[in-house]
Amino acid sequence: MKKYDYLIVGSGLYGSTFACMAARSGKKCLVIDKRSQTGGNLYCENVEGINVHKYGAHIFHTSNKEVWDFVNSIVEFNRYTNSPVANYKGKLYNLPFNMNTFYQMWGLTTPETALAKIEEQKREAEELMCAEGVSEPRNLEEQALLLVGRDIYEKLIKGYTEKQWGRKCTELPAFIIKRLPVRLVFDNNYFNDKYQGIPIGGYNKLIEGLLKDAEVMPDTDFFHDRERWMNIADKIVFTGKIDEFYSYCFGKLEYRTVRFEEEVLSTPNYQGNAVVNYTEATVPYTRIIEHKHFESFGAEVYDNPYTVISREYSTEWSEGMEPYYPVNDTRNSQLYQQYKELADMEENIIFGGRLAEYKYYDMAPIVESVFKHFND
């Protein structure tokens, strides 16, 4: 008999949710994490009484009532509604693309005129491609032009996307944006999901609740004593980089990462919104997050005389940096499939989460993935 039913490598949302579900099934879990804190990229640090999302803004959203009830059974969530704003050369546009955006862009006030304007610009893109003998979009730029037309693309997509990926839109594959939401209503709610919010008191409360029945060891690197960890439990749940698990035998997968520039300001309200995207190519950062707006609303924003902002800079990933976004081009997709074939042959190892599955995940689908494992 081994000491644990599960060794869980990584205490991010996948690992922590797995630990919670396993404990509810009567299993004994050990969770190890190479960081000094739990929670992975959900970790928050309290700065001047504000829960700062240290690894980027996280907004929980889902239409799955089972998932929503589950996370709220751990910690109550607030009413935060994601309504980002885009700043292009000092002018503000509401996101996602909706009637407020079209009024700001063209001065149009009715759905009929807005739709006609978008269709007119889409036809222009189709005609240009047709003149070049092209029937399918060859890159992200052509795909975006076919979806929303030139004005929205040039002002709200092009610069932001090129900063995010570090490549020109003409060099990015079209499938990155298979669709762009266009809403012919005055609605700034970014998500279509029925439920959304932030844990009251921050994401640390959620992680602490998920891990309360597990043994947890931070500052513990799986790869520093791999043989020991491989033999301490009946099964291993691995949430780290899948290529690292297999010693990069096929080569290294590529990522994009984000650098954060955090600043404490002696003002209660810097930008009036949690998320402002900077879509102009000449602005080096992609967005500014003002963290207090995730948990303070209306007049209560002014209860705290300070605010904390984070400027986000998207960069190429290299060793020692936190890998954020998989680069899902042909080369990396094929490389991941080679690793996945190895993983599929493992009987006692479960690979889960964005790094182990080389897949960008929203939070709710991560929880759903763990549910599926325990329900199968």
Q: Residue 101 class from Cβ within 10 Å (0-12 exposed, 13-18 middle, 19+ buried)?
A: buried
- Count the alpha carbons within 13 Å of 165 in the hemisphere toward its beta carbon: 19
SS (H, E, C) 13-42: HHHHHHHHHHHHCCCCEEEECCCCCCCHHH
> Is residue 256 annotated as a catalytic residue, yes or no?
yes
Is the CB of residue 7 less than 8 Å from the CB of residue 238? no
Q: Is 312 noted as a catalytic residue in this protein?
A: yes
- Phi and psi of 31, rounded to 5°? -110, 125
Length, in residues, of the chain: 376
* DSSP string for 117-185: HHHHHHHHHHHHHHHTT-SS--SHHHHHHHHH-HHHIIIIIHHHHHHHHTS-GGGS-GGGGS---B-SS
Residue 282 CB neighbours (<10 A): 8
The active-site residue, picked from 79, 132, 136, 179, is 179
What is the DSSP secondary structure assignment for residue 263, as one 8-state letter? E
Exactly one of 4, 287, 295, 368 is catalytic; name it: 287
Respond yes or no: is residue 261 known to be catalytic: no
Active-site entry in 33, 142, 183, 278 = 183
Cα dihedral 330, 331, 335, 340, rounded to 10, equals: -10
Which residue is catalytic, options 256, 262, 280, 285?
256
Which one is catalytic: 312, 324, 357, 358? 312
Q: Give catalytic status of residue 33 as yes or no.
A: no
Cα→Cα distances 202→44, 46, 186, 289, Å: 7, 9, 30, 15
Cβ–Cβ < 8 Å for 52, 44: yes
Asked whether the beta carbons of 334 and 315 are under 8 A apart, the reply is no
179 tagged catalytic: yes
Q: Which residues are catalytic?
A: 179, 183, 256, 287, 312, 360, 362
